C-alpha cells in the first residue's frame, strides 16, 4: 500500500505553484535547458531566495496571501485556493497560463457546483479594473519572467526590452520597469557580478547575447 503523501503548508504550496508557472514559461521561451544550466552558478541560490521572498511579499500585498495561511495537517477547504486563483486571473496578463496551472482548483469548484466562483471567475477575466492595476501587473510579469526569461542576468535596459517582447506589451516604460524591480527588492546579478551576464535578447532568433566572460554557458549562441 502506498503511504499518503505528506500535506503541504501554504508556503510550500505557493512555491510549487510559482515554480510550475516558471517551468511553463521557460519551456515556452525555449529556456528550460538554460534555466537548469544557470542553477549551477554559485550566486544562483542567493538570487533565488531573493526572488521567492519578493513573490511572498507580492502575494500578501495583492490578495494572494490566503494560500500562504494553509497549514499542513489541518482540515482545509478550497476557499484559499479559489481566492488565489481569482487573484491570479486579475493580475496576470496571460490568463490562459493561470487556467492551465490552476486546472485542479477550477475542476474541483465545477464538481462542487460552485456557481458563485464561476461568476467571479468571469468577472476576473473581464476585469475592468485591470487598467488601474498596471503597477501590480508589471510586478507580476517581472516575477514570472525573472528566471524563466533570464531577466535576473540583464541590466535594466535589456531586461525591459526583453519583458516587453515576452509579454507583447509596448506600454511598459524603462523607468517603470526599473522602479518595479527596485520595489520588489530584485537585484539579480547586481552586487554579485561586475557586469550583466546577458547583454540582450534577440526576439527574431529567440537567442541571447552573452557577455564575454559568460560565453561558456552557451558557446554556440554567443559571439
Q: Biggest alpha carbon distance in the chain?
A: 58
Residue with more model confidence, 119 or 175 = 175
Residue with more model confidence, 64 or 196 = 196
44-61 and 174-184 are packed helices; what angle lies between their axes, rounded to 10 degrees? 90
The pLDDT score that the predictor gives to residue 112 is 77
With bands split at pLDDT 50, 70 and 90, how would you rate the model's confidence at 53? very high
The pLDDT score that the predictor gives to residue 212 is 86
Q: What is the Cα–Cα distance from 94 to 144, expressed in whole angstroms?
A: 11
Residue with more model confidence, 124 or 144 = 144
Q: Phi, psi (5° rounding) for residue 200?
A: -170, 165
- Give tens-digit pLDDT for 20-45: 889 989 999 999 999 999 998 989 99
Question: Is the pTM above the cut of 0.85?
Answer: no
Range in 86-95, 150-159, 166-175, 180-189 with the lowest mean pLDDT: 86-95
Residue with more model confidence, 205 or 65 = 205
Q: What is the 3-state secondary structure (H, E, C) of the chain?
A: CCCCCCCCCHHHHHHHHHHHHHHHHHHHHCCHHHHHHHCCCCCHHHHHHHHHHHHHHHHHHCCCHHHHHCCCCCCCCCHHHHHHHHHHHHHCCCHHHHHHHCHHHHHHHHHCCCHHHHHHHHHHHCCHHHHHHHHHHHHHHHHHHHHHCCHHHCCHHHHHHHHHHHHCCCCCCHHHHHHHHHHHCCCCCCCCCCCCCEEEEECCCCEEEECHHHHHHCCCCCC
Q: Are 98 and 88 in contact (CB under 8 A)?
A: yes
Beta bridge partners of 200: 209
- Give tens-digit pLDDT for 99-122: 777 777 787 778 777 888 788 777
**pLDDT of 12 strictly over 60:** yes
Q: What is the Cα–Cα distance from 68 to 81, expressed in whole angstroms?
A: 10
Amino acid at each position: 500500500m502506498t503511504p499518503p503523501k505528506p500535506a503541504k503548508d501554504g508556503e510550500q504550496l505557493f512555491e510549487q505553484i510559482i515554480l510550475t508557472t516558471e517551468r511553463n514559461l521557460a519551456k515556452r521561451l525555449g529556456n528550460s535547458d538554460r534555466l537548469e544550466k544557470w542553477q549551477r552558478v554559485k550566486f544562483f541560490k542567493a538570487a533565488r531566495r531573493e526572488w521567492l521572498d519578493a513573490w511572498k511579499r507580492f502575494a500578501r500585498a495583492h490578495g494572494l496571501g490566503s494560500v500562504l495561511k494553509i497549514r499542513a495537517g489541518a482540515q482545509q477547504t478550497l476557499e484559499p485556493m479559489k481566492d488565489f486563483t481569482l487573484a491570479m486571473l486579475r493580475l496576470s496578463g496571460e490568463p490562459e497560463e493561470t487556467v492551465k496551472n490552476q486546472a485542479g482548483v477550477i475542476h474541483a469548484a465545477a464538481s462542487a457546483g460552485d456557481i458563485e466562483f464561476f461568476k467571479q471567475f468571469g468577472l476576473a477575466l473581464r476585469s475592468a479594473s485591470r487598467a488601474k492595476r498596471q503597477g501590480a501587473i508589471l510586478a507580476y510579469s517581472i516575477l514570472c519572467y525573472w528566471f524563466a526569461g533570464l531577466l535576473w542576468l540583464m541590466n535594466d535596459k535589456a531586461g525591459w526590452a526583453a519583458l516587453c517582447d515576452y509579454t507583447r506589451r509596448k506600454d511598459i516604460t524603462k523607468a517603470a520597469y526599473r522602479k518595479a524591480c527596485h520595489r520588489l527588492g530584485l537585484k539579480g546579478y547586481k552586487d554579485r557580478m561586475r557586469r550583466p551576464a546577458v547583454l540582450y535578447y534577440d526576439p527574431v532568433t529567440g537567442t541571447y547575447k552573452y557577455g564575454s566572460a559568460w560565453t561558456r554557458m552557451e558557446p554556440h549562441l554567443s559571439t
